[in-house]
Amino acid sequence: MSVVILAIESSCDDTSASILVDGKILSNCVATQDMHKKYGGVVPEVASRAHQVNIVPVVDTAIQQAGLSRKDLSAIAFTRGPGLLGSLLVGVSFAKALALSLKIPMVEVNHMQAHVLAHFIDEPKPSFPFLCLTVSGGHTQIVLIKDYLEMEVLGQTIDDAAGEAFDKTGKLLGLEYPAGPIIDRLARLGTPKYDFPEPKIKELDFSFSGLKTSILYFLKKQLKQDPNFIEDNLNDICASVQNRIVSILMGKLKKASDQTGIKEIAIAGGVSANSALRNALKSDGERHGWNTYIPQFQYCTDNAAMIAITGYHKFLKGEFVGQEITPMARYAM
Ligand code: KG4
Ligand code: ZN
């Protein structure tokens, strides 16, 4: 009999549902909440209300697109955390209610583990052990993956995440939220001619708050001399900021590879959609003899397919949870 998993992701501002059958993704439906743009960031209360509106149609669409019906489901996987508590609560409550009514088991999933396991949706798949740089709006981690569900965080940010560095820089430049994809696009038209300092952070940890401050002071100084500085040099500023963020990330990844001797290297999370980071991974990979892995675009930013593949591996191990399960805003992997 086939294993059919419905997965639900609602940790931040995207409501997503996916259907996986015997390890293959048949549908991955994402409803993005555009209303946060005008606030310059995700408003938690607004996000959870939008999840409530979106969750039923998103789940129904995912099931329909897979050509299945609710009675075909073997189990429901859902994101338990980390994330915004109100947002997580919608997905977890929905999963519990549906599992109860269909009398099927539930699997809880750690969102950060799922970003890593997005690499097992398509070919080529990394082999164990491998290193994954997981870079999103909330997290920046270098993870050692020994097996599907056996992971160790080797280093992480001590303040802002890489995605936040993009988004907060965008705010200083007057760009819409989320600014990461906009900076990516503008940077392609510019030259990285401004030099922002590289933070000196121990071992495999990261810090991005100093970079944000140095960009702020740089802009203040330039604007004093030329009030049009940002408009006239936007592409070059974006290219310079992106260049520094990418060099920080790639520097630590190289260090992690040197320290562990591992040459299977992956990137994951929303910021792995960044074209400069993807190019840097490819070119550094060729130079250092790494096998590199980048998920398909749609599996980089938040999606339920990654929850489905993680749920599938937990399902195979019989790791089920009961109705007493609660979401966790902070959830170490
Ligand atoms: O993984 P994700 O969708 O959500 C979280 O779990 O946080 O990541 C969202 C982050 C945002 O900070 C967004 O600006 C960033 O990923 N991002 C990018 C790009 N696409 C998304 N950053 C840089 N370049 C991109 N192309
Ligand atoms: Zn994420």
For the chain, strand residue ranges (E) read 4-9, 14-21, 24-32, 75-81, 106-110, 130-135, 140-147, 150-156, 264-268, 291-293
The reply to whether 197 and 276 lie within a common domain is: yes
Atom of ligand 1 at shortest range from CA of 276:
24
The verdict on 240 and 285 lying in the same domain is: yes
Strand order in the sheet with 130-135: 150-156, 140-147, 130-135, 264-268, 291-293
Instruction: Establish if 71 belongs to a structural domain.
Output: yes
Which tokens is 188 given? 């392609």
Distance, CA 218 to ligand 2 centroid (Å)? 30
Residue 158 in any domain: the answer is yes
Contact 206, 75 (CB under 8 A): no
CA separation for the pair 60, 72 (Å, rounded)? 13
Both 311 and 290 in one domain: the answer is: no
Render each residue's pLDDT in the chain as its tens digit; 333 residues: 899 999 999 999 999 999 999 999 999 999 998 888 888 888 999 999 999 999 999 999 999 999 999 999 999 999 999 999 999 999 999 999 999 999 999 999 999 999 999 999 999 999 999 999 999 999 999 999 999 999 999 999 999 999 999 999 999 999 999 999 999 999 999 999 999 999 999 999 999 999 999 999 999 999 999 999 999 999 999 999 999 999 999 999 999 999 999 999 999 999 999 999 999 999 999 999 999 999 998 999 999 999 999 999 999 999 999 999 999 999 998
Domain CATH for 204: 3.30.420.40
CB of 81 closer than 6 angstroms to any ligand 1 atom: no
Residue ranges making up the domain that contains 159:
126-294
Same-domain status, 148 and 258:
yes
Residue 9 CB–ligand 1 contact under 6 Å: no
Q: Is the dihedral of CA 233, 40, 214, 142 positive or negative?
A: negative
Same domain, 104 and 194: no
Q: Are residues 144 and 284 in the same domain?
A: yes
**Domain match, 108 and 133 both:** no
Q: What is the pLDDT of residue 333?
A: 87
Kindly tell me the sign of the dihedral angle through the C-alpha atoms of 305, 264, 138, 247. negative
**Whether 136 and 96 share a structural domain:** no
Q: What is the pLDDT of residue 306?
A: 98
CA of 1 to the centre of ligand 2 (A): 32
Query: Are 16 and 145 within one domain?
Result: no
Using alpha carbons, list the distances in angstroms from residue 153 to 139, 156, 181.
12, 7, 26
Residues 264 and 127 sit within 8 Å (Cβ to Cβ): yes
Are 90 and 153 in a shared domain? no
Instruction: Answer yes or no: is 259 within a domain.
Output: yes
Instruction: Give the pLDDT score at 34.
Output: 86
Q: Would you state the structure tokens that stand for residue 244, as one six-digit string? A: 């520094």
Atom of ligand 1 nearest to the CA of 179: 14
CA of 274 to the centre of ligand 1 (A): 8
Q: How many domains does the chain have?
A: 2
329: in domain: no
Assess if residue 121 is contained within a domain: no
CB half-sphere exposure, 184, CA atoms < 13 A? 17
Residues 211 and 306 in one domain: no
